Amino acid sequence: MSSEKIVVVKCGGSIVNQLTSAFFESIQQLKASGYQIIVVHGGGPDIQDTLTKLHIETEFVDGLRKTSKEALEVVTMVLAGKVNKQLVKELQKANLKAVGLSGIDGLLLKAEAIDVERLGYVGEVKGVNDTLLKQLTDSQYIPVISSIGADEEGNSYNINADVAAGAVAQAVNAEKLMFVTDVKGVLKDGALLPELTKSEIDALIEEKVIYGGMIPKVTSAVNALSPLLEEVHIISGTDGFLDKEGKLIGTAIKYSGKGGEDSDEFIVSNISTV
């Protein structure tokens, strides 16, 4: 898929119910400009709400939901059913062709357990079926992928959606990976910060300029970067994320491959264009 211009869009569960028509108009604009789009999503709040209603207790270990077999059934139901189909319907309302999938379908996200004793059925991605994704994008469909994976023995796994999106983006050689949030990007005093290094991000976290739910978003974005995936963007799902000229509105975190002392440095900017 390296010859295509591909954008992977990651929607967290907390933003799915807040996506606006302006957001989908920006997706339309991206598609019209020649990009193929792949959506990866989570569904944490809906999962927790359903688990609570069913009186199924869960706990978090190192930021990951410990997932029993009973909890995994709920995770699968909510992610592959409710949330996935909600996103597909919204894309189709915006006249965008979309197909809903879980990572189980066609072993789209081939996974294995991280640590069954500590985390239960929580997995890490070991492979991505990029051939299946190419078949869909070549037919102008937007694959919408829920973050569940499986192994060849038929075991299913709950996968962190940030990790799943990063794996998909790298597998398809995406130009960009976008993390959708409820703000325009990394803000200071209400304004987008024009450029940051990773060390400055760390300092802003320490200063509590970057705080709360933005910390895992920035951390996940930085962790997804590699020489194969040089840009990760933080964008808004409650507004349009492209201006009239097609410039991205948001914070772009870029991988710097300069080598030497700067080889592990990351540059954050909100002036990248698509």
- Within a domain: 213: no
270 annotated to a ligand binding site:
no
- Range scoring the smallest mean pLDDT among 60-69, 155-164, 215-224: 215-224
Backbone φ and ψ for 107, nearest 5 degrees, come out as 45, 45
- 44 annotated ligand-binding residue: yes
pLDDT grade, residue 36 (50/70/90)? Answer: very high
- For residue 22, is it within any domain? no
Question: 41 is in which domain, residue-wise?
Answer: 37-160
pLDDT (tens digit per residue) in 125-181: 999 999 999 999 999 999 999 999 999 999 999 999 988 999 999 899 998 899 998
User: Average pLDDT of the chain?
Assistant: 86
Average pLDDT over residues 89-103: 97
What is the C-alpha separation between 72 and 74, in angstroms, rounded? 5
Tell whether 65 is in a known binding site.
yes
Mean pLDDT of 26-31: 95
| Domain annotation covers residue 122 | yes
Give the mean model confidence (pLDDT) for residues 67-74: 95
181 part of a folded domain: no
pTM of the model: 0.87
pLDDT for residue 194: 61
Q: Is residue 84 part of a domain?
A: yes
Q: How many domains does the chain contain in total?
A: 1
Q: What is the pLDDT of residues 39-50, one digit of tens each?
A: 999 998 999 999
Residue 158 annotated as binding? yes
Q: One-letter amino acid identity for 248?
A: L
**Percent of the chain's residues with pLDDT above 70:** 90
Runs of H (alpha helix) within 54-160:
69-76, 84-93, 116-119, 130-138
Residue 262 has pLDDT above 50, yes or no: no
3-state class (DSSP) for residue 226: strand
pLDDT score at 225: 76
Q: How confident is the model at residue 112 (pLDDT cuts 50, 70, 90)?
A: very high
Rounded to whole angstroms, the Cα distance separating 27 from 60 reads 33
Q: Is residue 126 part of a domain?
A: yes
Per residue in 46-77, is it b (16+ CB within 10 Å) or e — as a string? Answer: bbeebbeeeeeebeeeeebbbbeeebbebbbe
The token duo for 119 is 């985390």
CATH number at residue 136: 3.40.1160.10
For residue 182, tell me if it sits in a domain. no
Does the residue 151 lie in any domain? yes
